[in-house]
Amino acid sequence: MRGLGNTTTALRDLAALLARGHAQHKEGANAIRSLIHTPSRSFHTSHQYAIPRNRSRGASALRRQPYPGRVSLQYLGDDLPQPVTDPSKHTEVVTSPNHGLWGFFNKERVSIPTPEEDHRHGRAWAVEELRHKSWDDLHKLWWACVKERNILATQQLERERVKPGYGESEAYTRNRLVRDTQRAIKHALTERYYAWQEALKVAELDSDIDLSGKGPAYNPQTLDVDPSTGAEALSSTDEAVPELESGAKGDRRLEL
């Protein structure tokens, strides 16, 4: 019986030890489970309902409207100006009819002409026609084209602002013809420049031409006189020169 009692005591102690170990294991598992299922904290450290220090925070940069309840508007108490909707009460603006800015508009002084008005134009100047024009005429024609292109550019800006939906094709055609005229003017002036350069090369080789600028440019050294006939031949040539100048020389000038 004594051996049985010792066995019973040993079993009771073993059961208590196992129960204590199971309890410790359960507490450790619960601790690990609590760590795993703990919700994560918010990233920002500021309070969620903290009032921002910047009073302009939330105001729209485009609409200039504040965020409701955060920005206070400064109102001085004066009445705001009201727009005048009655046309009879509008202030009449008087401008000079010869103002320089009218040069950016057409003769009718309208911002956007109709397609029919833009379509009423002639053709571009040809190079063959401009070759007969003087320097002053080409200069005036060039600046007339510049003025016309300024008018077309002003109308195009107004057309992009209003967006009427018409006039782009006619204005483009008119602008292209004006540019063709300017291109033809440059072509004619380039031909004259090359002709002038070639004439300078020929004049440098001619002993009768003085390019120094210190006297007459043309100084003939010899005269075509026949020594056998003498003065009579010279007088006969003098009489024949006016007829030549009045006839063939005049035609030659028209060809140039």
Q: Are 189 and 159 a contacting pair, CB within 8 Å?
A: no
Single-letter residue type at 36 = I
Mean pLDDT within 101-127: 89
Phi, psi of 209 (to 5 degrees): -110, 130
CA distances from 217 to 200, 207, 213, 220, 232 (A): 12, 11, 7, 10, 29
Mean pLDDT within 164-174: 91
Is the pLDDT at 100 greater than 70? The verdict is yes
Q: Are 151 and 106 a contacting pair, CB within 8 Å?
A: yes
> What are the residue ranges spanned by the domains of the chain?
125-210
pLDDT at 144: 94
Instruction: List, for residues 214-239, the tens digit of each pLDDT value.
Output: 878 887 876 655 556 554 444 444 44
pLDDT at 12: 75
Least confident of 117-131, 137-151, 174-188, 195-209: 195-209
Is the pLDDT at 54 greater than 60? The verdict is yes
pLDDT at 143: 95
